[in-house]
């Protein structure tokens, strides 16, 4: 395939780019406005994808960033990050609010701005080892530590979703459970304007829902909270494992008590921990975080599953035994013809005798 030659940059464009970039970096809002009014594009970028808005965010120039956000939408990334990510990682809440206000003036929905993934590839987030290639500002805050809790609260109130997916299909709520950042999880759950907007049914690339994540990370109270919010208890992961199977392995008594009532009968019948009628404890592989001394909890989840299994077996037996057997339809009886008193009576034996004689 023939490579098309790259067009040479016009010298005046380079000069204008340099002027508006310098003004933005220094927070000279009036100069930026003047340059734009003379025809300079507010989104002109250098060969690294950097725009005036990136620079205003990088250097914390709030007024300049607000004005630039209102006159041009920036889709490019600078070193993998977009303006909103630069503002958030700098932990400058007034700058984030300025970007949101500017986007509103331009007619952009704040949600699309706040839930956009960056393009930065990293192997660690804060103090956590984690490979990631593209995440939202809220994902970053969850991993950056307690000093970002106020930023999390602001982002959620402005429209950032705790269930927005990164490029690995994981959400900030999942990230909070993974990093054991309970404070971040509580802030997100407590400050979301409408809890019905939470997409708790979202699953990662392994098919794990938020309920799967809560159990796998040993957060029983969080799992119960998700159940209370109406999460689907019948969601299967890629290996056809439902939350009930995990809650038994995790010896989570309260959660198992809820899930045995909410899980579909068919899924309970397919549970690998029984032979159809009896739960076999030897089949349960307890999770690593279950204490060796948790025998009482183990026995209780086994008993809860057995109780539900007995109930299912009884209902099936009752259904089979209680059915009324339908009687087979018999052929209707043939009614004999009634002859009139004057009709001659035919002797069958005589007729049979004549037929025999004729045959001879």
**Selection from 138, 163, 53 nearest residue 88 by Cα:** 138
Tokens 């809790």 sit at which residue? 149
The residue-averaged pLDDT of 55-83 equals 88
Residue 74 has a pLDDT of 78
pLDDT greater than 90 at residue 1? no
Query: How many other CB atoms are there within 10 angstroms of residue 185's CB atom?
Result: 24
DSSP class of 226: H
Residue 322 has a pLDDT of 53
The residue-averaged pLDDT of 323-340 equals 55
For residues 154 and 99, is the Cβ–Cβ distance under 8 A?
no
Residue 286, Cβ density class (10 Å: 0-12 exposed, 13-18 middle, ≥19 buried): middle
* Of 13-27, 54-68, 159-173, 247-261, minimum mean pLDDT range: 13-27
What are 23-41's pLDDT values in tens digits?
A: 999 999 999 999 999 999 9
Concatenating the DSSP letter of every residue in 3-55 gives PPPPPPPPHHHHHHHHHHHHHHHTT-HHHHHHHHHTT--TT---TT---HHHH
Residue 107 has a pLDDT of 86
For residues 86 and 57, is the Cβ–Cβ distance under 8 A?
yes
Mean model confidence pLDDT for the chain: 87
**Selection from 282, 220, 217 nearest residue 251 by Cα:** 220
- C-beta pairs of 14-18 under 8 Å, 24+ apart in sequence: 16/40, 16/41, 16/44, 17/44, 17/45, 17/46
DSSP class of 146: G
pLDDT greater than 70 at residue 210? yes
Beta strands in the chain (DSSP E): 121-125, 128-133
C-alpha 235: how far from chain center: 10
Residue 320's SS3 state is helix
Report the alpha-carbon distance of residue 113 to residue 37 in Å, rounded. Answer: 25
Residue 330 has a pLDDT of 58
Residue 2 has a pLDDT of 43
Report the alpha-carbon distance of residue 154 to residue 58 in Å, rounded. Answer: 19
In percent, how much of the chain has pLDDT > 90?
Answer: 69
The residue-averaged pLDDT of 266-275 equals 96
Domains of the chain from N-terminus onward: 12-108 (1.25.40.20), 112-194 (1.25.40.20), 200-319 (1.25.40.20)
pLDDT greater than 60 at residue 87? yes
Residue 192 has a pLDDT of 93
pLDDT greater than 70 at residue 333? no
What are 154-188's pLDDT values in tens digits?
A: 999 999 999 999 999 999 999 999 999 999 999 99
pLDDT greater than 80 at residue 347? no
Structural Rg of the chain based on CA atoms: 37
Distances (CA, A) of 207 to 101, 200, 240, 248, 258: 37, 13, 9, 19, 22
For residues 254 and 227, is the Cβ–Cβ distance under 8 A?
no
Residue 2's SS3 state is coil
pTM of the entire predicted model = 0.81
Report the alpha-carbon distance of residue 256 to residue 226 in Å, rounded. Answer: 14
Residue 310 has a pLDDT of 96
pLDDT tier, 324 (very low <50, low <70, confident <90, very high otherwise): very low
Residue 7 has a pLDDT of 39
For CA atoms 78, 84, 87, 90, the dihedral sign is negative
What are 119-145's pLDDT values in tens digits?
A: 999 999 999 999 999 999 999 999 999
The residue-averaged pLDDT of 91-101 equals 92
For residues 42 and 20, is the Cβ–Cβ distance under 8 A?
yes
């Amino acid at each position: 395939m023939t490579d098309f030659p790259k067009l040479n940059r016009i010298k005046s464009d380079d000069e204008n780019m340099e002027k508006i970039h310098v003004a933005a970096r220094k927070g000279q809002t009036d100069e930026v406005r003047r340059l734009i009014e003379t025809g300079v594009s507010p989104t002109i970028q250098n060969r690294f994808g950097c725009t005036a808005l990136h620079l205003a965010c990088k250097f914390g120039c709030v007024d300049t960033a607000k004005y630039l956000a209102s006159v041009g939408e920036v889709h490019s990334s600078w070193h993998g990050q977009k303006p909103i990510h630069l503002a958030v990682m700098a932990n400058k809440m007034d700058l984030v609010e300025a970007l949101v206000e500017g986007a509103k003036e331009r007619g952009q929905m704040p949600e699309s701005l706040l839930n956009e993934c960056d393009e930065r590839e990293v192997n660690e987030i804060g103090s956590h080892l984690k490979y990631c290639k593209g995440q939202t500002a809220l994902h970053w805050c969850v991993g950056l530590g307690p000093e970002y809790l106020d930023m999390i609260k602001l982002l959620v109130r402005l429209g950032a979703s705790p269930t927005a997916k990164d490029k690995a299909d994981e959400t900030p709520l999942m990230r909070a459970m993974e990093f054991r950042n309970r404070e971040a999880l509580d802030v997100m759950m407590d400050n979301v304007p409408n809890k019905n907007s939470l997409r708790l049914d979202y699953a990662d690339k392994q098919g794990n829902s938020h309920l799967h994540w809560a159990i796998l990370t040993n957060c029983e109270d969080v799992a119960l909270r998700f159940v209370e919010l109406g999460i689907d208890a019948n969601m299967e992961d890629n290996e056809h494992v439902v939350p009930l199977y995990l809650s038994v392995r995790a010896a989570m008594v309260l959660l198992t008590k809820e899930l045995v009532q909410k899980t579909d009968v068919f899924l309970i019948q397919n549970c690998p921990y029984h032979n159809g009628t009896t739960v076999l404890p030897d089949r349960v592989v307890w999770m690593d975080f279950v204490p060796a001394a948790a025998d009482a909890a183990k026995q209780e989840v086994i008993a809860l599953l057995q109780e539900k299994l007995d109930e299912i077996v009884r209902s099936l037996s009752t259904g089979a035994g209680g059915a009324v057997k339908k009687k087979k339809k018999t052929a209707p009886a043939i009614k004999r013809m009634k002859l009139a008193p004057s009709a001659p009576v035919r002797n069958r034996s005589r007729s049979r005798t004549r037929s025999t004689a004729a045959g001879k």
